[in-house]
Every structure is written in C-alpha cells, then in structure tokens.
Amino acid sequence: MTSRQFFLQKNCRGQVWVETVIYTLIAFALIATSLAYVRPKIEEMQDKAIIEQTLAMMEDIDSIIASAVQGGAGNTRIIELSIKKGSLKIDGSENKIIFEIESRHIYTEPCTAEPCTEINIGNIVAVTKKQGKFNLITLTRSYTDYDIQYKGESGGQKTITKSSIPYKLSIENKGDSDTDTDNKVEINFYFI
C-alpha cells in the first residue's frame, strides 16, 4: 500500500466520524426544538386536569359538609385530599375555601385589571388573572350559611400545598353557634 492510499483510507474513516457527529447533533437539535414546543402544551393539559380534579374535590367537600350538617351536631366526616399542584386555603375569617394554581392554562377569560370576570361553576367561582406568561387561576367556594372554622377558631386559616401523599381532612358539625346572632352552623376543619 502506498502512502497516498493509506492517507485516503485514513481520511475516509475520519469523514465517517465527522458525519456521525454532525447527524447526532442535528438529531439532538430536532429533539430539543420539539420538546421546547411540546413540553409547555403537556404542562398546560396537566394543569387543566388538576383544575378539573380540584373542582370535583371541592364539590366532594360540599357534599360532605351537607352530610355532616344533615347528621346533626357532633357529626364528623373524613375526606382525603390530593394536591399535586397549587394550594388550598381554608379561610375561617371569610368563610371560604380557596384553591389557587399558577398555570399556562387559561381556564376562564383572563383579566389584567380589576374587577375580573367571575365565572360560576355551580357554587364555585372561577377567576383567571394574567401574570406574565402564566395565569393565576382561583377557585373560590363561599359558605354564607356556615361558620367555617379551622381547629375550632372562627378566624382560623390553613393553607395546604402540594404533597406526594394525600391529606386527611376531618370536617365536623359543631352545631349552631351560641355567639353568632345569625345562628350559623359551625363547621370545623382540621387535619389528621
């Protein structure tokens, strides 16, 4: 083998490696480009599913409260709550349960200034506020007929955030309020 043939054969092997590296880089660039588009859409669909599950969870809480009230004073029910994203707030001072999630998903017509358009979904009010490239979606359930409490305090509040394990929430009917002139039924929440 002459030196020229040896050089050409060696140069061919080098060209194969260069082509392999270039094709691999092109494949990685295509995968990264598709992920940059697809990932936000997947997250948006996941957030939509979380919001729908939360609506169902809030309706379950409603039915458990109604069941505890129907059962009379001292009646206690337990529900498991799974929160994968966002936060759930039990607000005793306002007699509300509020769920908030920051999402790419637009659940209702987004607003950028107050007052925002409120959409009623049964007894739950949904509001979407635009915050940069994300939206703050708030689901609120007001209880005007009940005195919502956390650990026996009328002004008590508790915020729970995402967790890998479900929370166990106890809902107790404490009966009619002695101090309230409206005689609202006291509903006490606490976590087990």
Residues of the chain above pLDDT 90, percent: 39
Per-residue model confidence (pLDDT) at position 179: 60
**Predicted confidence band at 3 (pLDDT cuts at 50, 70, 90)?**
low
The answer to whether 91 touches 98, Cβ cutoff 8 Å, is yes
Q: Read off the pLDDT band of 73 (50, 70, 90).
A: confident
pLDDT of residue 52: 92
Would the pLDDT of 182 be above 70?
no
Q: Which amino acid is at 173?
A: N
pLDDT in tens, 136-173: 999 999 998 898 988 877 777 889 999 889 999 999 99
* Cα radius of gyration (the chain): 28
What is the reported pTM?
Answer: 0.78
Does 1 score more than 80 pLDDT? no
* Residue with the larger pLDDT of the pair 127 and 182: 127
Is the backbone of residue 72 left (phi > 0), alpha (psi -120 to 50) or beta? left
Query: What is the rounded CA–CA span in Å between residue 112 and residue 110?
Result: 7
Instruction: List the chain domain ranges.
Output: 44-191
Residue 138 Cα distances to 5, 49, 89, angstroms: 74, 15, 11
Check if the beta carbon of residue 161 is closer than 8 Å to that of residue 121: no
Determine the pLDDT at residue 4: 53
Query: Computed from CA positions of residues 72, 77, 83, 89, in that sequence, does the dihedral angle turn out positive or negative?
Result: positive
pLDDT (0 to 100) of residue 145? 87
Higher pLDDT, 30 or 7: 30
- Cα distance between residue 65 and residue 184, in whole Å: 13
Neighbours of 177 (CB within 10 A): 16
Distance of CA 132 to the CA centre of its chain: 18
Our measurement of the distance from residue 66's CA atom to the centroid of its chain's CA atoms, rounded to an integer in Å, reads: 24
Can you give the pLDDT at residue 14? Answer: 64
| CA–CA separation, 102 and 137 (whole Å) | 6
pLDDT band, very low/low/confident/very high, at 90 (cuts 50, 70, 90): very high
